[in-house]
C-alpha cells in the first residue's frame, strides 16, 4: 500500500503580471532562509528574468513574515559537522552571482521588504533601485552575531548608503533596525503601512515597467561605474550610454511625443 504525498512547494516562485516579474522567496516556515535549493532556484530565476526582454521590471520579495533571514544555519551546521567547505564555495557559486545580477541586470529592480531582512537577505534588499518596506519590517546585518564577515554586497552598499562609520556600527553591533529608522538612515526609499504594502509595490513596479527600460538599465550601469571611477572615466561611460540609448525606439518615441505635446508610450526597445 502506498501513500501519495503532495510535492514540496518550490522554494522560489516567479509571478508575472504584464512586464513585471516578481521573484518570491517561498520558504515561510524557515523565514525564507537560504538553503542550497533556494539559492540555486533564486539564481536561476534571476537569470531567467534578466534575460527575458518581455520583463521590464523585477520585484524581489518574500512569502510570510520575513523577506529573507540569510543563510540557512541549520544546513550550515550540518555542513560544518561533516567538514564541508561549502561556506567558501557558496559565496562564489551563489551569493556573488545573485548580488551581481540584482545590481547589474539591464532593467530596474524593486526590493519589496515585507518582513525582516537579515544577513545576505539584508544585502539583497539593499540592491534595489526602489526599496519599499512594510512598517512592520526591519533589517539586521547579523553577520557578526555568528562570527562571520559580511557578504552579498553588504560592504559595498552599506557605506554608500549610510557612510563608513555608520556601516561599521551596523556591522559590528548587529541589531534589528526598525522600519522608521531604516528610512531615516537611507537603507530604504519608502516605508508604508503593512496593509498598503502590496498595492504600493505593484504601483511602483508598474510605473517602472512602463518606462524607458534600456535607459533605466544604462543609468544603473553608469551609476555603478561612477562609484569607483575618476571623473574622466565616468564621463566616457555616460557618453557610450548616451549613444546607445539615443539609438533606441523609446528615444525616438519620446522625441516624437515631445514635439507633438503628447505623453510617450515606451516599449522597452
Q: What is the mean pLDDT of residues 159-175?
A: 97
| All cell numbers assigned to 27 | 520558504
Give the right CATH number for 213-260 from 1.20.120, 1.10.12, 3.30.70, 2.20.70. Answer: 1.10.12
Q: What is the mean pLDDT of residues 9-36?
A: 97
**Exposure letters 210-226 (e unless 16+ CB within 10 A, then b):** bbbbbbbbbbbbbeebe
User: What does the pLDDT read at residue 227?
Assistant: 86
pLDDT digits (tens, 9 = 90+) for 232-263: 999 999 999 999 999 999 999 999 999 999 99
Q: What is the mean pLDDT of residues 43-60?
A: 98
pLDDT digits (tens, 9 = 90+) for 61-100: 999 999 999 998 777 666 665 566 666 788 999 999 999 9
Q: What is the chain's mean pLDDT, rounded?
A: 94
Domain with CATH 1.10.12 in the chain: 213-260
* 157 or 8, higher pLDDT: 157
Q: How many angstroms from the chain centroid is the CA of residue 227?
A: 18
Give the right CATH number for 12-209 from 3.40.50.720, 3.30.360.10, 3.90.180.10, 3.90.226.10. Answer: 3.90.226.10
User: What does the pLDDT read at residue 84?
Assistant: 61
Domain with CATH 3.90.226.10 in the chain: 12-209
Confidence band for 213, pLDDT divided at 50, 70 and 90: very high
User: What does the pLDDT read at residue 1?
Assistant: 44
Side-by-side strand order, sheet with 116-118: 66-68, 116-118, 138-140, 177-178
Q: How far apart are CA 191 and CA 200, in angstroms?
A: 10
How far, in Å, are 9, 101, 208 from residue 256 at the CA level? 48, 33, 21
Amino acid at each position: 500500500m502506498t501513500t501519495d504525498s503532495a510535492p514540496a512547494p518550490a522554494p522560489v516562485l516567479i509571478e508575472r503580471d504584464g512586464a513585471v516579474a516578481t521573484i518570491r522567496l517561498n520558504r515561510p516556515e524557515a523565514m525564507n532562509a537560504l538553503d542550497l535549493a533556494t539559492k540555486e532556484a533564486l539564481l536561476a530565476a534571476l537569470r531567467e528574468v534578466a534575460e527575458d526582454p518581455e520583463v521590464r521590471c523585477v520585484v524581489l520579495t518574500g512569502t510570510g513574515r520575513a523577506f529573507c533571514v540569510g543563510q540557512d544555519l541549520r544546513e550550515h551546521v550540518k555542513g560544518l559537522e561533516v567538514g564541508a567547505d561549502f561556506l567558501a564555495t557558496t559565496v562564489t557559486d551563489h551569493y556573488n552571482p545573485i548580488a551581481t545580477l540584482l545590481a547589474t541586470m539591464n532593467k530596474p529592480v524593486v526590493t519589496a521588504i515585507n518582513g525582516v531582512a537579515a544577513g545576505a537577505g539584508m544585502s539583497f534588499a539593499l540592491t534595489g533601485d526602489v526599496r519599499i518596506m512594510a512598517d512592520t519590517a526591519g533589517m539586521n546585518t547579523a553577520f557578526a552575531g555568528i562570527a562571520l564577515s559580511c557578504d552579498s554586497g553588504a560592504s559595498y552598499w552599506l557605506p554608500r548608503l549610510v557612510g563608513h562609520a555608520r556601516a561599521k556600527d551596523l556591522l559590528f553591533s548587529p541589531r534589528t533596525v526598525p522600519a522608521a529608522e531604516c528610512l531615516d538612515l537611507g537603507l530604504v526609499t519608502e516605508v508604508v503601512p503593512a496593509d498598503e504594502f502590496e498595492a504600493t509595490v505593484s504601483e511602483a513596479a508598474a510605473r517602472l515597467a512602463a518606462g524607458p527600460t534600456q535607459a533605466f538599465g544604462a543609468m544603473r550601469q553608469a551609476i555603478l561605474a561612477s562609484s569607483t571611477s575618476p571623473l574622466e572615466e565616468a564621463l566616457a561611460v555616460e557618453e557610450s550610454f548616451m549613444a546607445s540609448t539615443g539609438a533606441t525606439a523609446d528615444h525616438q518615441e519620446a522625441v516624437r511625443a515631445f514635439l507633438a505635446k503628447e505623453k510617450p508610450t515606451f516599449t522597452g526597445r
